Amino acid sequence: MSDGVDPRRRVPRTDALLAQPRLVAAAANLGRDLVKTAVRQAQDRARRGEITPDEVPDVALAALPSTGPRAVLNATGVVLHTNLGRAALSDAAMVAMTAAAGHTDVELDLSTGRRARRGRDTMAALAAAVPAAEAVHVVNNGAAALVLAATALAADAEIVVSRGELVEIGDGFRLPDLLTSTGARLREVGTTNRTTVADYAAAVGPRTGFVLKVHPSNFRVTGFTSAVPVRRLAALGVPVVADIGSGLLAPDPLLPDEPDAASTLRDGAALVTASGDKLLGGPQAGLLLGTAEMVERLRRHPLARALRVDKLTLAALAGTLGDRATPTRGALHADAAALRERTERLRDALAGDGRKVEVVPSVAVVGGGGAPGVELDSWALSLPERYAAPLRTGDPPVLGRVARGRLLLDLRCVPEHADAGVRAAVLAVPGDD
């Protein structure tokens, strides 16, 4: 029954809406004018009867543009999920980035007041982490590290590489296309499954810029295969550039087949390239480690200026190198029994209103193009598949994986303090009949 009041008079006033905490926060991020426009558009919709007056704040907020990527709870069981930004940064890395957000001494020696080498503290931390490297440098991603090496060392020359190592690195980008775009020519040797040291030796000559050794980090070839280790390639008398891919700096017993920078350098590689946002657990970056002559040659090349990293990346990398307790390392080495206990507690907290939830064994993987074939014993919360979409689009989004008609939420990559957030997200989905 109508109370006789014109519905338009129930629409909240603009000043009252702009004083609401959520809209105040939005104005702080996006600017008051943009938020005020969204509020007025929502008010007009309410006056036309398209929405109720009570819906005006929510509609105004929904109309505002996103301020950036949304934080996601990664319950997929993939430690380095490329679509979720690969490595989650450590607390130390995030603190370092916050400190670097303002003015910093990134290229200034405070003791002398003069210009200094960019990111020298980060370079010192990286060098200390890999003593086998005479010198180090950092560019903006792993592919950039290879591009810089090819440009500086093999422009108008040949790169000798095994056919079995000409990989596709993701999103349709292929290593041979990347390398030849620099002006280098590829001298392919061997076959897809077998390459010998004699194949390399027959190809090396006066036009060789370097021999490239690529770790096939996102696939495995088994059966009748052979490959040549770095230590044998190093005896050929030309520089060896080894792309180890995943950024493991030292051996990890959990990943026995994954090459690491320290061992590869000791085996004779003149230069090692790797990614910073994979097994190292840091920000996106391309790591270059090797002989002093080789690294300095790359560092002084004009292209290095176009590939340099910003101050936030330098800060995050330094924070990562100073803190071994990264989320990546924690997820990789998480105890399966402890994960089961967490998952069972979450199940018990959800089972009270008749939801069809259970705890099941799970298999987690490294992901991010690293350690193919390595499986990590884990446990997952199993829910009906219909939970997948509302959890994925909720606040915060919770991403699991669907298998055989069930949604599996593996807590291996979810911080334990976020378990309550997972519980609240599941409870926000209407219960099972």
Each residue of 52-102: pLDDT tens digit?
898 898 899 888 887 678 889 999 999 999 999 999 999 999 999 999 999
When mean pLDDT is compared across 39-43, 218-222, 301-305, 386-390, the lowest value belongs to 218-222
Pairing of strands 135-139, 286-290: antiparallel
Identify the three-state secondary structure at position 373.
strand
At 26, is the pLDDT very low, low, confident or very high (cuts 50, 70, 90)?
confident
- Confidence at residue 190, expressed as pLDDT on a 0 to 100 scale: 96
pLDDT at 433 over 70: no
Q: Within the chain, what is the greatest distance between any pair of CA atoms?
A: 94
pLDDT at 1 over 50: no
- Confidence at residue 29, expressed as pLDDT on a 0 to 100 scale: 79
- Confidence at residue 67, expressed as pLDDT on a 0 to 100 scale: 67
pLDDT at 151 over 90: yes
Q: What is the average per-residue pLDDT within 283-287?
A: 97
Q: What is the average per-residue pLDDT within 319-327?
A: 92
Nearest to 316 by CA among 91, 139, 85: 91
Q: What is the average per-residue pLDDT within 256-260?
A: 92
Q: What is the average per-residue pLDDT within 134-155?
A: 96
pLDDT at 132 over 50: yes
pLDDT at 6 over 70: no
Structural domains of the chain, ranges and CATH numbers in brackets = 7-63 (no CATH), 73-82+329-427 (3.90.1150.180), 91-324 (3.40.640.10)
CB 147 within 8 A of CB 178: yes
pLDDT at 369 over 80: no
Residue of higher predicted confidence among 429 and 293: 293
- Residue percentage of the chain with pLDDT more than 90: 75
Nearest to 79 by CA among 410, 373, 358: 410
- 147: its two tokens: 């591009």
Average pLDDT across the chain, whole number: 92
Helices 32-47 and 21-30, interaxial angle, to 10°? 130
The pLDDT tens digits for 217-241 are: 667 777 888 999 999 999 999 999 9
- Confidence at residue 66, expressed as pLDDT on a 0 to 100 scale: 73
Q: What is the average per-residue pLDDT within 340-352?
A: 92
- Confidence at residue 370, expressed as pLDDT on a 0 to 100 scale: 75
Cross-sheet strand order for the sheet of 401-403: 78-80, 358-367, 370-384, 406-410, 401-403
| Cα 376 to Cα 420: distance, rounded to the nearest angstrom | 24
Nearest to 187 by CA among 196, 199, 198: 199
The pLDDT tens digits for 154-211 are: 988 999 999 999 988 777 789 999 999 999 999 999 998 999 999 999 999 999 999 9
Q: What is the average per-residue pLDDT within 301-329?
A: 95
| Cα 284 to Cα 263: distance, rounded to the nearest angstrom | 23
- Confidence at residue 23, expressed as pLDDT on a 0 to 100 scale: 87
Cβ burial of 383 (10 Å; 0-12, 13-18, 19+) is buried
- Confidence at residue 220, expressed as pLDDT on a 0 to 100 scale: 75
Q: What are phi and psi of 36, to 5 degrees?
A: -65, -40
- Confidence at residue 345, expressed as pLDDT on a 0 to 100 scale: 96
How many CB atoms neighbour CB 294 within 10 A?
23
Nearest to 295 by CA among 112, 130, 162, 173: 130
pLDDT at 112 over 90: yes
Q: What pTM, to 2 d.p., does this model score?
A: 0.85
Quote the DSSP letter at residue 236. G
pLDDT at 4 over 60: no
Residue of higher predicted confidence among 327 and 10: 327
Q: What is the average per-residue pLDDT within 6-29?
A: 83
pLDDT at 348 over 80: yes
Q: What is the average per-residue pLDDT within 277-301?
A: 97
